[in-house]
Structure 1
Amino acid sequence: MAKQIHSTDPEELQSIRLLTFNTWGLKYVSKHREERLRAIADRLADPETDEDNYHVVALQEVWCESDWAYFDAVCRSNYPYRRIFKSGIITGPGLAILSKIPIDETFLYRFPVNGRPSAFFRGDWFVGKSLAVTLLKPHTSNAIPLALLNSHMHAPYAQSGDASYSTHRACQAWDLSKVVKTLTKAGYAVIQVGDLNSKPGSLPYKLFTIEGGLTDSWDVLNESNPISSVELSQMSPYDQIMKGGITCDSQLNTWRATRRLDEACRLDYALIDSNLIRPIGAKVKFTETLPPPLNCSYSDHFAFSADLLISNQNESFGGKHDRIPEKFEIYHELQSEIQKYRNETIPYQSNWRKWHFLLSLIVVILIHVGITWAAIRQPWSPVLLSLLSTVVGITGVINGMIWYFGIRSELRALQEVQLEVEDKLFSLKNE
């Protein structure tokens, strides 16, 4: 059980309790969105019902202005420092923070590799998936200042193939690890939270923990009793949460009740710089269902809470070590992942959109030539042919722009990551 925050113990006074929660706030798509998010806000806003008394709350998928306005209004007294981050074309990245610790500075890093602009039905590209960085002032007089990194990475839409977007998440994890290392060198105690859409052991996860040098707070607290994926799939839904830290696709979540036991997974994390931060407690939260008439879970994810002891300016916990052999492996794995995407997906997307654009131009010209002859035979035919010409022309131009601008931009962003990885490989080989 996590230690209580309110205590006279000097060590406990240096601890903070944070919560990360994907609220599932999609407009028109998420069921009972307004009621659910208001219930979350009300629970966080009331110190009496908010029994956990979080110092910092990181939210994802707060995509509606009205939902954030409600959070901002009702949480004002309990969380005097609040911020929502803006990006993208439609709504923004959906990232927000509520804090009892004063905010010193904020900035947003928008991922250069973030889906395809052609996949408008996915939404990730349009909302501008990003990394929201909040620099907090020291919460005690001698504590090291905190850098809270909140993100919601590109979602997978398939288990394999280009629709899995595994390459995009890997590139996002690479960028995220660079921000982590920069802030660590600047003297901040770094905490990375959010729905990272990456399972433990995946390439992005290895980039967080090996390249970024972060540690999984849940794993640290459960290192004496590690649970394999096979063991996890054979547990009851309750044990999956209590012993495995499952936050997504649990059968106990009303929105995911039909999922198989082996689909339950951990996607929401509190990753920490173990040299300056020690976890002293962690728990999956917001597992209850809302009262009638809703009778549903707060979100399609459960929340994750962690109690963290922050080092002071004169000490460290000494939990970090350089994992150079493993870095070589993940660098080559990342290079292979990007190269496969460049060899398969990029040419396919580029070629068919280019040819669609060129053929559309030819078809539009032929239709305009044919309109005169068609009008002689059927007076009404020019109307239909003009409509067809418009549709063909618009779709052709859209695909032409995606080919010439979107895919080229994506390719160059991928090439940049490859070059950065090559620099790291060269540097390691010459150390």
Structure 2
Amino acid sequence: MCPTPPASPPPTLRIISLNCWGLKFLAKYRHERLTEIGNQIAHAQPSPDIVGLQECWTQQDYNAIRDRTRHILPHGKFYFSGIFGGGLAILSRWPIQESNMVRYPLNGRPAAFFRGDWYVGKGVACARIRIGPERKDIVEVFCTHLHAPYEREPNDSYLCHRTAQAWEIARLMRHAAERGHLVLGLGDFNMLPLSLAHKLIEAHAPVKDVWRILHPESSLGSADYELEKARGRPIPTVKTNLEDNGATCDSALNTWRWNEGEKKRLERGDQIHIDLTSPDPNAKRLDYIFLGSESSKWTVQSANVGLTMRHPTLGCSLSDHFSVEATLMRNPTPAPDIESAIINGHFRGRLATDNDTKLMQLPSSTYATILDLISEYNLRERRQRRLRLTHFGMQLLVSIGCMTAIWWSPYNYVSFVLMLLSSLGLSAGVIDGLMGGLFVGSEVRALKEFEWEIQNAKGEAERVTTSEEIER
């Protein structure tokens, strides 16, 4: 039985996105922290309407959050993906009408088991939520966690993966916007403002980063980031990073970023106070809310960094990230009061205008950069495939040699050593052969699809540029 749709759309929407850092066995005080996250969301003011969670890996933690927020967010979905789960969840004040999990075609490598990105099956958690009686009174929510950077751009060996993932979620958000629905992209995107992935999302989906709508001059990264240093600004304080730059990660306020000495003091029960005016050079913004709104129906009223408090008994931060939060206000049609307030300077929000959310083409040179990135990564993976298949062939020969040598072995212990070497070596060779023959082959084919789409976008950008030059 389908739930009855709301009688009218809400006047405001309160959105929260948080990376919970809920790694099973690895994240300290995991269940205690995520339980407290549920408590804080339940008592947040204003109350949230839609919440996107990342790194909520276990159903135990998800259920703990659901139990504490059910009175304000009665509907929710925990998303299953990969071997260990995608770590994504969406909570909602209204029923989730449709839901699916879209896996990223490019998502890490199985050989990097110590990083785990491939094994969790990262992707996009999609939910369609009806917030009103009309056909287009629908919010489409896309919650994601892009591949982690393990080196700084442009030296990050997973930059190609993260760029392809940004392209994929941009495609999903674009299709939702074409259906005339309100679009929300939430998550830990593991990218800096105005980075390649950030530009790609805003260019190929009619969405805007809500923080930059309100704070267009906010920082582009940590104080030592090259592009940020080039702006010649002083090192920001903790307060500046929270209020102006929207820094959700690596803040001096976050106890999980402290040195070991400070962490031990905290565990002993020492009260460590961080002055909001102290320098905060490492903080940066990795968590985002993207908004796409048809015909400027929604206003970005406010955006803030949240969940900065500490656990009431453990004294640690609730996660290694802070949340990013936003309040959207629905504009009546017509909206003379809002227009008058804007004209008279009384309105402090910012409209998500058509100019904010229209599709645009990036310069042809940007697509050429992506194509070079794909080409470089493609060569790397083909080289990896040759090496892995060669390893498999050599181990097969070694195994045959060991088995043959057993015939002439003078002692039992020598035979045992030869059999052990043969078994272990062949096992490693088979695993490498499977990675080279199956996984890398699949990855190369996914790269070909991504390359075709970028070439197509590059051709369109060149056509538009040529047309504009002819018109001039």
Same fold at TM > 0.5? yes
1:75 Cα offset (Å): 2.3
Where in structure 2 are the equivalents of 1:12-411 lying within 5 Å?
14-45=11-42, 49-90=43-84, 92-139=85-132, 144-159=137-152, 164-223=157-216, 225-227=217-219, 229-230=228-229, 234-258=235-259, 261-273=280-292, 275-292=296-313, 294-311=314-331, 317-320=353-356, 324=360, 326-343=362-379, 345-374=380-409, 376=410, 378-411=411-444
| 137-146 vs 359-368, which moves further | 137-146
User: Structure 1 residue 142: deviation in Å?
Assistant: 9.0
> Any idea what the Cα deviations from partners look like across 1:353-385, whole Å, max 9, x if unmatched?
1111111011001111111222x2x33211111
Question: Which amino acid counterpart does residue 173 of structure 1 have in structure 2?
Answer: A
Please say if residues 104 and 135 of structure 1, whose CA atoms lie closer than 8 Å, have aligned partners that are also in contact: yes
**Secondary structure of 2:362's aligned partner:** helix
Relative to structure 1, the CA distance from residue 421 to residue 163 in structure 2 (aligned partners, 3 Å threshold; closer, same or farther) is closer
Once the two structures are aligned, what percentage of the paired residues are identical? 32
Which SS does the other structure have where 1:263 is aligned? coil
Question: 2:52 aligns to what SS in structure 1?
Answer: strand
Q: Which amino acid aligns with 1:248?
A: C
Residues 208, 357 of structure 2: 8 Å contact kept: no
Say if 1:237 and 1:366 are closer, same or farther in 2 by CA, change over 3 A: same
Partners of 2:36 and 2:134 lie apart in 1 by: 35
For residue 423 of structure 1, the aligned residue among 456, 463, 466 is 456
Residues 159 and 233 of structure 1, relative CA distance in 2, 3 Å threshold: farther
> Cα offset for 1:160?
5.2
What number of residue pairs does the alignment pair up?
Answer: 412
CA distance in 2, matches of 1:147, 1:356: 47
Residue 393 of structure 2 aligns to which amino acid in structure 1?
A: L
Question: Does the 8 Å CA contact 1:156/1:166 hold for their aligned counterparts?
Answer: yes
**In 1, distance between residues paired with 2:258 and 2:334?**
49
State the one-letter code of the partner of 2:373.
E
Match of 1:5 in 2: none
Structure 1: gaps of 5 or more residues:
1-11
Q: Which amino acid aligns with 1:127?
A: V
Shift of 1:415: 0.7
Structure 1 residues 353 and 233, CA gap change in structure 2 (3 angstroms): farther
For normalisation by structure 1, the TM-score amounts to 0.89
Counterpart of 2:419 in structure 1: which amino acid?
S
**2:318 partner SS:** coil
Distance 1:313 1:392 in 2: 71
The one-letter amino acid paired with 2:164 is C
- Retained in 2: the 8 A contact 1:111–1:129? yes
Taking the aligned partners of 1:427 and 1:312, their CA distance within structure 2 comes to 36
What is the one-letter code of the residue matched to 2:286?
A: L
TM-superposed CA distance for 1:334, in Å, is 1.8
1:309, distance to aligned residue in structure 2 (A): 2.2
| TM-score when normalising by structure 2 | 0.81
1:401 aligns to what SS in structure 2? helix
| Deviation readout 1:7-64 (Å, 9 max, x if unpaired) | xxxxx9522111000000000100000100011112223xxx3223111111111101
Q: 1:312 to 1:191 in 2, by over 3 A?
A: farther
Deviation at 1:185, TM superposition (A): 0.7
| In 2: Cα distance, 1:331 partner to 1:42 partner | 45
SS in 1 for 2:438: helix
Structure 2 residue runs of 5 or longer lacking an equivalent are 1-8, 221-227, 261-278, 336-351, 465-472
- CA drift at 1:276: 4.3
Distance 2:311 2:357 in 1: 44
Native 8 Å contact 2:136 2:181 kept in 1: no
Q: CA deviation at 1:314?
A: 7.5
Deviations 1:253-276 (A, max 9, x none): 000124994432101011112544
Task: State the shift of 1:430 in Å.
Answer: 4.7
One-letter amino acid matched to 2:326: A
1:20 maps to amino acid: S
**Distance in 1 separating the partners of 2:389 and 2:422:** 18
- 1:143–1:313 contact (8 Å) kept in structure 2: no
Distance in 1, Cα, partners of 2:415 & 2:180: 70
Q: What is the CA–CA distance in structure 2 between the aligned matches of 1:390 and 1:163, rounded to whole Å?
A: 36
User: What is the distance in 2 between the residues matched to 1:340 and 1:237?
Assistant: 39
Q: State whether residues 59 and 78 of structure 2, in contact with CA within 8 Å, keep that contact through their aligned partners in structure 1.
A: no
Equivalent residues of 2:203, 2:361 under 8 A apart = no
CA contact (8 A) 1:14 1:143 kept: no
Give secondary structure in 2 for the equivalent of 1:61: strand
Distance 1:313 1:347, change over 3 A: farther
Q: 1:219 deviation in Å? A: 1.0
Letter in 2 for 1:108: M
- On the 8 A contact 1:101/1:139 being kept in 2, the answer is no
